[in-house]
Amino acid sequence: MKKLSVKTVVAIGIGAALFFVLGKISIPTPVPNTYISLQYAIEAVFATLFGPIAGLLIGLIGHTLVDATSYGPWWSWIIASACVGLIIGLITMKLDINEGIDTKKIVTFNVAQIIAHLLAWGLIAPVLDIVIYSEPIEKLFAQGLMAGVANIITTGVVGTLLLIAYAETVVKRGSLKKEED
């Protein structure tokens, strides 16, 4: 297995901290225990920039910290959050945002995040809620649908804007020229 670079380890720490902070700032939805927040946009951007292991660990650590400081760890949704980062990182790992961003990269990012959220909140979280906590099925799929839609929209809008902003700040290879005297 390839070792994680220092840069990636630092990104995991920063990403998990941002996931935690943004996870504490949320808007309640009409569905109980389901909120609109921005932490998945951060997780998606970091997974795209630093890869699937970083995405997985950011979701795992960040969501665990959110839950641990609220009502205690809810492992089914923690695992689903980790899967979101892993899936996005796997699908976007060949994108080189450091070389700029274009429509194809934006579409790939958004297809990745939609797939990740649909799997996480439509399948992984509800199934694990049933297996781990014996939760009632009707409630689970209402929560999953609301979480999935909210996360797809916030990640699509905020995540895309963050990726574009990041790409604009990166100096492209070969773009710097030596000044002549």
94-115 pLDDT, tens digit per residue, is 999 999 999 999 999 999 999 9
Q: Indicate whether 9 pLDDT > 70.
A: yes
Tell me what the mean pLDDT of segment 33-57 comes to: 96
Q: Indicate whether 137 pLDDT > 90.
A: no
Q: CB of 11 within 8 A of CB of 46? A: yes
- How does pLDDT run across 115-127, given as a tens digit for each residue? 999 999 999 999 9
Tell me what the mean pLDDT of segment 146-164 comes to: 97
Q: Indicate whether 176 pLDDT > 80.
A: no
pLDDT of amino acid 15: 98
Locate tokens 């980790």: which residue? 82
Q: What is the dihedral of CA 159, 35, 148, 51, to 10 degrees?
A: 40
Which of 39, 123, 27 lies closest to 80, judged by CA? Answer: 123
Q: Indicate whether 148 pLDDT > 90.
A: yes
Q: Indicate whether 22 pLDDT > 70.
A: yes
Percent of the chain whose predicted confidence (pLDDT) is above 90: 82
Which of 169, 161, 178 lies closest to 41, judged by CA? Answer: 161
Architecture of domain 6-169: Orthogonal Bundle (1.10)
pLDDT of amino acid 169: 93
Which of 71, 85, 6, 76 lies closest to 39, judged by CA? Answer: 85
| Spatial distance between the Cα atoms of 108 and 106, rounded to a whole number of angstroms | 5
| Spatial distance between the Cα atoms of 166 and 181, rounded to a whole number of angstroms | 33
